[in-house]
Amino acid sequence: MSRSKPIVLVSGVAVAAVLLGVVSYTATRPASPGAAGSSSVAEVSADPSAGVYAELEAYARRDASDKLALGRADAPVVLIEYADFKCGYCGKFARDTEPVLVEKYVDNGTLRIEWRNFPIFGEESEAVARASWAAGQQGRFWEFHKAAYAEGAKEKGFGKDRLAALAKEAGVSDAARFAKDSEGAAARAAVSADQEQGYSLGATSTPSFLINGRPIAGAQPLETFTETIEAAARAAKAAGAAKAAGAAKAPKTAEPTDGATKPGSDSAR
């Protein structure tokens, strides 16, 4: 699998890829001695007035059968998260921020969250990514997600026995199927597809996010996400209203008069 060939075909995506790649590294690298607060690059990227790339909105799958997603498929805002279960910052987001977003926006239909496995920390990252997908096949992805991101979970590692224990904790009912699915070709293909999508965007670190085409990197403060989601919801509402107004103003095709021939009808008289 190539990690050096970004699938960037549109100029807007190229710009976003540079932004997300630079900010992803800067926002999640260990702080240097004496450094305080988040980086200015990360703060710029999280600004709700920052660039929104329409091309990136197409990365939202909006598949109602997606077992690694939460929320309505037609929600006005989609948050895509590229993350690794061995990433401490991802765990912080999962524990501190995501539950608030679910309660505040997913539950009322405003937000949909779509997970993308983006394992970047070696074999255990790959293994737990496949295991999460396998748990999802039995409808327990988000329960597995919670167990794997619990405080202290990553320090215990993600070996085979540990993954089986996490699956049991998550309520995965068929352990044999879980083990088989975790090592199967379908799991590998699904994880690889998510991973390649992340690399195509220029993401080099985790977590990285897209919110209706706006890139955000790092476990930013809750306010960053709430402001961005609300801005995206307002924009989606305005776009919907403009579309409805345009449809209302569109001229209607006149019905043919009695003497005219209707399309698809015979006219011999």
pLDDT tens, residue by residue, 8-33: 333 444 545 544 544 443 333 333 33
pLDDT of res. 231:
96
Which residue, among 78, 76, 106, 101, has the nearest Cα to 214 in the 3D structure?
78
Task: State the Cα–Cα distance between residues 71 and 68, nearest whole angstrom.
Answer: 10
pLDDT of res. 250:
72
pLDDT of res. 175:
98
The number of residues in the chain equals 269
How crowded is the C-beta side of 168, counted as CA atoms within 13 Å? 8
Residue 57 neighbours by CB under 8 Å, 6+ apart: 78, 212, 213
pLDDT of res. 244:
86
pLDDT of res. 253:
63
**Single pTM value for the model:** 0.78
Task: State the Cα–Cα distance between residues 135 and 143, nearest whole angstrom.
Answer: 9
pLDDT of res. 256:
54
pLDDT of res. 141:
98
Give SS3 for 102: helix
Query: pLDDT under 70 in the chain at which residues?
Result: 1-51, 252-269
